[in-house]
Structure 1
Amino acid sequence: MADRAVDAGEVTRFAPSPTGLLHLGHAYSALTAAAQGAFHLRIEDIDRDRCRPEFEAAIHDDLHWLGLDWPRPVMRQSDRLPAYRAALDRLAPLTYPCRCRRGDIRAALSAPQEGALPAGPDGLVYPGTCRGRSHRDAGPDDVIRLDTARAFDALGLDRIGFRDRAILPDHDHSLTRDQVAQGIGDVILSRRGMGTSYHLAVVVDDAAQGITLVTRGKDLFDATYIHVLLQRLLDLPTPAYLHHRLIRDDAGRRLAKRDDARALRHYRDEGATPADICQMIGF
């Protein structure tokens, strides 16, 4: 069953990217967020190469069909690039430009070690090849990474953590400075052609919207350590977190937007009702 409202005064949000149709997993996430308090919709459209206006329109339509509503105007990340730039400028002493591509990172991690390569919220954990490069040397195709070890040092912390309302709610989830550096790494704060990244934008936007409870899938649990670290660095409030279970297909795989068979539009076209959707996802 879904986690029920714990505080009617909470401010929550659902923040999809308009890169495909919403599926059953999105329905569960949106309904779970709406059950916790005042519900906001945010459109995460910083990936201009993949975002489509027809998918953004479908997000609104499908959520209304589920019975959800939210304040207007809707926050769109593409309108907020100056806010991300201001945050990135503030973090500049703790960041560095990186020219490495995915193949470079994989090659650096593969030799000389054997076995599975370390993975974090951004994929393979960055080995720090460009760490120490100056922003004066940055090129137009560089990404900007957070030096996580220096970030901890700047805050005078050796550990960062949070509590989660769905996963061991009475337990303090925390990682040491070294655990973050080795298991999550120097995440990207600004991607090529975007001016920001998910990690930076979500932290800045949650604060701007006054979000008090972040409700999202447990696949983003490890990213929360970075988000709390960024909140501390930017003097932003840390909301409560609720990482809910994931909706999976018959083979146990997490649903993705490419899985059109699980799209809400597919079920709607076949005559399903919002109540049918709730039953399917165990809400």
Structure 2
Amino acid sequence: MTRPVFRFAPSPNGALHLGHAFSALLNVAMAEETGGRLLLRMEDIDTTRCTPELEAAILTDLDWLGMNYECPYRRQSDHWDDYQEALDRLIDDEIVYPAFLTRGEVRRYITAREEEGEEWPRDPDGAPLFPPQDRQRSASERKSLIADGLPFAWRLDMQAALGHLRAPLHWEETGAGPFGETGTIRADPAQWGDVVIARKETPTSYHLSVVVDDALQGVTHVVRGRDLYHATAVHRLLQELMGLAVPEYHHHDLILGDDGRKLSKSAGDTSLQALRQSGATPTDIARMVGLETVRKA
């Protein structure tokens, strides 16, 4: 019988906080309960914000929490070729297209349409969907713009991608969605529109790299925050398009601040390092996130 494979996948672009500790410790607990393996992955495709110093700090935090994971761990920035290969497949299948519009141009276009009374569609995170101009360009125009050196990102042609499906998409959910959804969940990637698949600086994006990594690492159970629940629809679509194995998903509650918002690195929420320096123990952290039984002093 194949052992379950779990993974904790932080981004070294800031200090870990209690929300990360909850996700890490929940992965530990579920791996232990099922006799599974636990992997660590550094999701560092954002080479501007991710640094070796922050990666080292994450390792220190995880060691302090007592998290045992298999080594060597995977660092995404060591595997650009894997993502390029996946991107090339999508390009060859004509499921992605080069998008040249800048953020300013997109913003001005949508603002103008809304001022004319049009209700512009938005994705589950509340961001406006990408407009159609780049998708509608001819092959010759795209080739000319690329030859001129105009920067572009690769975006998924959602309509073309959905046309490749032979059946509706689903995933198995053992956690819960925003409204308590569990069990077999119908995936609706169309609500995301033409999402970014690769950025101009790198041959990948979060959506592409996460499904490629999970498949290459043989991950069978994805345990992550509920803020990524709706994004699973995009991941299921990419898995189907590339013939990748489909893990089971478990989206857990988020640890919220006193003001009710999700904890955030960018907002400077209290880090595990700061809690450790103030005298907290790993047992204290487990108790603070509601996982008292995971780590005992």
Find 2:238's aligned residue among 215, 224, 230.
230
Supply the distance in 1 between the matched residues of 2:41 and 2:241 (Cα, whole angstroms): 23
Name 2:8's counterpart in structure 1.
14
Name 1:44's counterpart in structure 2.
43
**Greater Cα offset, 204-213 or 258-267:** 258-267
**Greater Cα offset, 7-16 or 109-118:** 109-118
Name the CA shift for 1:213/1:245 in 2 (closer, same or farther; >3 Å): same
Name the CA shift for 1:170/1:29 in 2 (closer, same or farther; >3 Å): closer
Give matches, 1:34-183, under 5 Å: 34-37=28-31, 38-92=37-91, 93-110=94-111, 111=113, 112-113=116-117, 118-120=122-124, 123-133=127-137, 134=139, 136=143, 137-138=145-146, 139=149, 141-157=151-167, 159-167=168-176, 168=180, 170-176=182-188, 180-181=189-190, 183=191
CA RMSD of aligned residues (A): 2.1
User: What is the TM-score of this pair, normalised by structure 2?
Assistant: 0.85
Where structure 1 has 5 or more consecutive residues not aligned to the other structure, the ranges are: 1-6
Supply the distance in 1 between the matched residues of 2:15 and 2:205 (Cα, whole angstroms): 22
Q: Is the 8 A contact 2:156 2:196 kept in 1?
A: yes
Supply the distance in 1 between the matched residues of 2:221 and 2:187 (Cα, whole angstroms): 21
Q: What is the identity percentage for the equivalent residue pairs of Structure 1 and Structure 2?
A: 43
Supply the distance in 2 between the matched residues of 1:175 and 1:52 (Cα, whole angstroms): 35
Q: Is the 8 A contact 1:215 1:243 kept in 2?
A: yes
Find 1:245's aligned residue among 253, 263, 271.
253
**Cα deviation 1:159-206 (Å, max 9, x = unaligned):** 322121011565432145xxx33x211111101212210000000000
Q: Is the 8 A contact 2:87 2:203 kept in 1?
A: no
Instruction: Report deviation, 1:257.
Output: 0.6
Name the CA shift for 1:24/1:8 in 2 (closer, same or farther; >3 Å): farther
Q: Is the 8 A contact 1:214 1:240 kept in 2?
A: yes
Look up the SS of the partner of 2:214 in the other structure.
helix
Name the CA shift for 1:245/1:8 in 2 (closer, same or farther; >3 Å): farther
Instruction: Report deviation, 1:106.
Output: 2.6
Look up the SS of the partner of 2:164 in the other structure.
helix
Supply the distance in 2 between the matched residues of 1:83 and 1:213 (Cα, whole angstroms): 21
Name the CA shift for 1:62/1:144 in 2 (closer, same or farther; >3 Å): same
Number of equivalenced pairs: 272
Look up the SS of the partner of 1:51 in the other structure.
coil
Q: Is the 8 A contact 1:10 1:36 kept in 2?
A: no
